[in-house]
Each structure stands twice: as structure tokens, then as C-alpha cells.
Amino acid sequence: MAEGLAELIQRFNPGARASVAVRHNGTLYFAVTPKSPFDPALSAAEQAAQLFEKADERLAMGGTSKSGLLFVAILLADMADYDAVNRVWDAWIDPKAPPSRACFQARLANPAMKVEMIMISATG
């Protein structure tokens, strides 16, 4: 690795397995889930609301906000939840500064987790 590269990267809450978010070159990368431990009794929409609360915190940690989002990939454990999660999305997103996005169904790491998102955001 080039000398000094480490100083150009900011890792937030690095753990043994992953960092919660990583910033480089004015861009913040992270994945975000509902509140852990995941509660299977919650609907996908309720889990999405938890997820967005965590996303707000991560974006703030990274020096930005949802208004800086560039791209979001929405992973749903069940595409039947698409409309319900979109309603929470539509209420959360900055309507003047929405990111580009994609949505697909995928089995997630924990069967109690109904939604996960990958977010790329601009930062200061």
C-alpha cells in the first residue's frame, strides 16, 4: 500500500470483523441493518424505520447526512415488503436530494432481519 494511504482513510467504530463505516476521498461507505438483536416480530417497515435511525447516526458520524447520499442498495428478505418499505423510505429521504437506488430480494445473514441497505454518501 502506498505510504500514507492509511491517513487518507477514516474508519468509524472498527471491530474485529468490519468497520461500521469507512470514509475516503470525500465518500462514505457503509451497510446498515435494523436495530440488533433483530426482532422478527417487527414488520419490514418497522425494521426499516430502525435502520434509517441508525443510518442517520452513521451519516452524522461520517460528517454528512441523508442529503449527501449518492447511492443506496436496498436488500429485502421478501420482495412482498417492497411497498411497505418504500413508504418508510419516501418519508425518510430528503425529497430535494434523493440518492440513486436499486432494490432486490436476497436472503440476509440473519433470518430475523427483513431489510438491509448499502449506502454510499458524499461527505465534507
Alpha carbon distance 68, 87 (integer Å):
20
The kind and range of the H/E element at 91 are helix 82-92
Nearest to 69 by CA among 116, 17, 30: 30
Examine residue 112 and tell whether it contacts its own copies (CB under 8 A).
no
Q: Which stretch binds its own copies (CB under 8 A): 39-47, 49-57, 101-109?
A: 101-109
Distance of CA 123 to the CA centre of its chain: 15
Per-residue binder mask for its own copies (CB under 8 A), 59-98, x = binder: ----xxx-xxxxx-x-x---x--x---x--xx--x-xxxx
Contact (CB, 8 A) for 72 and 119: yes
What residues make contact with its own copies under the rule CB under 8 A? Answer: 1-3, 5-6, 8-9, 11, 14-22, 24-27, 29-31, 63-65, 67-71, 73, 75, 79, 82, 86, 89-90, 93, 95-109, 116, 118, 120, 122-124
